[in-house]
Amino acid sequence: MSGAARITARGWGWRHGDRPRPAVSGLDLDVAPGERLLLLGASGAGKSTLLAGLAGVLGDAQDGDRAGELLVDGMVPEAARGRVGLVLQDPDGQTVLARVGDEVAFGCENLGVPRDEIWRRVGEALEAVGLDVPFDHPTSELSGGQKQRLAIASVLAMRPGLLLLDEPTANLDPDGVAEVHDAVERLVAARETTLVVVEHRVQTWLDLADRVVVLEPGGGVRADGPPTSLLRERGAELAASGIWVPGHHPVVDRIPAAEEAPALLVGEALAVGRRRFGERAPRTAASGIEVTVRSARTTAVVGPNGAGKSTLGLTLAGLLTPVGGRVVATQTLAGPLGDAPVRWRSRELLTRIGTVFQDPEHQFLRGTVRDELEVGPRALRRGEADVASVRDELATRLRLGALLEANPFTLSGGEKRRLSVASVLATAPRVIVADEPTFGQDALTWAELVRLLGELVASGTALVAITHDQELVDALADDRLVLGPARQGVGG
């Protein structure tokens, strides 16, 4: 079957096996072939669950409970997988092979596309998303944003009848956002592909969408209509529920930076990099970096994808050894320890430097949200009352209270991010290195998270925020460290 696909939902719902309530319920929806749908909703409203259902990857009765009917071209999604392409929030979750070209070719090979046609599609797809690397470039060496482009290219090459994009630009720099938007626009221009995009920041896709559907947390559809008229007539209402409506973005009062802020970490003539598997020496990702991280100030690390921002963050956090130069912890931070954080033990890092990884799943250690929030305090041998107090305060503040018994890996992308931030805050480190701390958030959870981080900085915590979120930079940054070919240094 070729051409654009049709979506039909009648009373459809899904409950994850570890949850008391459904992620989606009572959903009635019709999407015509070739339609371009922007799917919105508050964090946890079930957007990603719906996309997984349409892609046929939710699992069976052992994984959860299904209700109603969900069809693609009149078939259950499991029978239509060759018709559907899904790009996940986490590109690592769908990277299969070691080389870029093979990764993009993989889906086409499974569909039986002729060999010569496969490699023509590979080149076109990589060019479309602006991923300018050789076919044999290792997928393990791509930045988070580059991996996201790779995932989109892999799906584009399959020419799906239904394209599902789950927060496709969450970790991309502005040029990458534009490239992905334009690539998708070219794909759907002939109306031979139906498009469903989940994106909290709606502005990126408004010009491409025919229709906006807003899911109601707890079940059903809250709003459905043409983008311009829907957002004009119900914009204030939707913004109040957490939708990022243009012209209604949240405002967070800025707390003035400390005038006299002691230095905690200093990077001197710093070069950072990582070791490729099988190689003895790391490859340099960025060099010539001078940075001072101070108490009660926020340093925003910005720059294009692939500039070395995440590698720098891990180096400042004491998790990677510098390729050149050094990271020095001052006496104020180090206390009786030596001045090289990379030599500290994990328990010594807990109250000094906390790291929020770019991929939340890389730091999950336990089977429930409750246990995950308690890992740090228990490692510090805190009393039961103290452990419970810290856990409950963070769960309430970051809207995780109803999810304490859930498995962290079944959370939505935004919920995973809030849990990963909360688990670091639970040990009250003097320095927080946070890689994309606000991705996947609706407007309400974004504002609450930014307020919490701002309060911590005002109380003396040093925050290093690695981010493409310009609104986060505007709200919190006291200093900016720009990585890239033009400049690498701290500015005000």
| Per-run averaged pLDDT (10 residues), the chain, 492 residues | 88 86 92 95 89 87 83 92 82 84 94 92 89 91 79 89 89 80 80 89 89 90 94 92 89 79 95 80 89 96 90 96 96 94 94 94 93 96 96 95 91 91 96 94 93 94 95 94 64 35
Say how far residue 29 (Cα) sits from the centre of its chain: 27
Tell me whether strands 324-329 and 211-215 are parallel, antiparallel or unpaired. unpaired
Same domain, yes or no: 452 and 409: yes
Same domain, yes or no: 302 and 434: yes
> In this structure, which amino acid lies at residue 29?
L
What is the rounded distance in angstroms from the CA atom of residue 397 to the CA atom of residue 433?
Answer: 20
**CA 356 vs CA 243, 380, 424: distances in Å:** 25, 18, 7
**CA 437 vs CA 170, 178, 424, 433: distances in Å:** 11, 22, 11, 9
Residue 61's pLDDT is 56
| In a domain? residue 373 | yes
Same domain, yes or no: 268 and 236: no
Contacts of 86 (CB under 8 A, 6+ apart): 51, 52, 54, 55, 57, 94, 155, 164, 166
Beta bridge partners of 84: 162
Q: Which of 208, 225, 240 is the last residue of a domain?
A: 240
With vertex at residue 421, the alpha carbon angle to CA 414 and CA 358, rounded to the nearest 5 degrees, is: 70
Q: Which of 173, 207, 240 is the last residue of a domain?
A: 240
Same domain, yes or no: 199 and 326: no
Among residues 22, 19, 25, the alpha carbon closest in space to that of 70 is found at 25
What is the enclosing helix (H) or strand (E) of 194?
A: strand 194-198
CATH number at residue 176: 3.40.50.300
User: Which domain range does residue 330 map to?
Assistant: 263-491
Same domain, yes or no: 233 and 341: no
| In a domain? residue 245 | no
Among residues 44, 43, 46, 42, the alpha carbon closest in space to that of 29 is found at 46
What are the φ and ψ backbone dihedral angles of 443, each rounded to 5 degrees? Answer: -65, -35
Q: Which of 189, 209, 240 is the last residue of a domain?
A: 240
Beta bridge partners of 464: 299, 433
Structure tokens at 21: 């309530």
Same domain, yes or no: 328 and 450: yes
Residue with tokens 């990458």: 176
| In a domain? residue 291 | yes
Same domain, yes or no: 100 and 181: yes
| In a domain? residue 270 | yes
Structure tokens at 42: 């508050």
Provide the 8-state DSSP code for 275: P
Q: Which segments of 298-426 does DSSP mark as H helices, in order?
A: 309-316, 331-334, 346-350, 369-379, 384-397, 413-425
| In a domain? residue 304 | yes
Residue 62's pLDDT is 63
First and final C-alpha spacing in the chain: 57
| In a domain? residue 252 | no
What is the rounded distance in angstroms from the CA atom of residue 87 to the CA atom of residue 292?
Answer: 38
What is the enclosing helix (H) or strand (E) of 463?
A: strand 462-466
Question: Taking each helix axis from N to C terminus, what angle separates 384-397 and 369-379, rounded to the nearest 10 degrees?
Answer: 130
With vertex at residue 33, the alpha carbon angle to CA 31 and CA 37, rounded to the nearest 5 degrees, is: 45
Tell me whether strands 211-215 and 194-198 are parallel, antiparallel or unpaired. unpaired
Provide the 8-state DSSP code for 65: E
| In a domain? residue 250 | no
Residue 490's pLDDT is 43
- Domain tally for the chain? 2
Check: CB of residue 333 under 8 Å from CB of residue 327.
no
Strands, DSSP E only, in 226-376? Answer: 263-274, 283-294, 298-302, 324-329, 353-356
Strand, coil or helix: 216: coil
What is the rounded distance in angstroms from the CA atom of residue 425 to the CA atom of residue 350?
Answer: 10
| In a domain? residue 247 | no
Residue 175's pLDDT is 80
Tell me whether strands 298-302 and 462-466 are parallel, antiparallel or unpaired. parallel
Q: 288-345: per-residue pLDDT in tens?
A: 999 999 999 999 999 988 889 999 999 999 999 999 999 999 999 999 999 999 999 9
Tell me whether strands 324-329 and 263-274 are parallel, antiparallel or unpaired. antiparallel
Same domain, yes or no: 166 and 42: yes
> What's the pTM value of the predicted model, to 2 decimals?
0.86
Same domain, yes or no: 84 and 208: yes
Same domain, yes or no: 288 and 341: yes
What is the rounded distance in angstroms from the CA atom of residue 85 to the CA atom of residue 12?
Answer: 21
Same domain, yes or no: 277 and 340: yes
Check: CB of residue 215 under 8 Å from CB of residue 242.
no
Sheet holding 489-491, edge to edge: 353-356, 431-435, 462-466, 298-302, 479-482, 489-491
Same domain, yes or no: 234 and 317: no
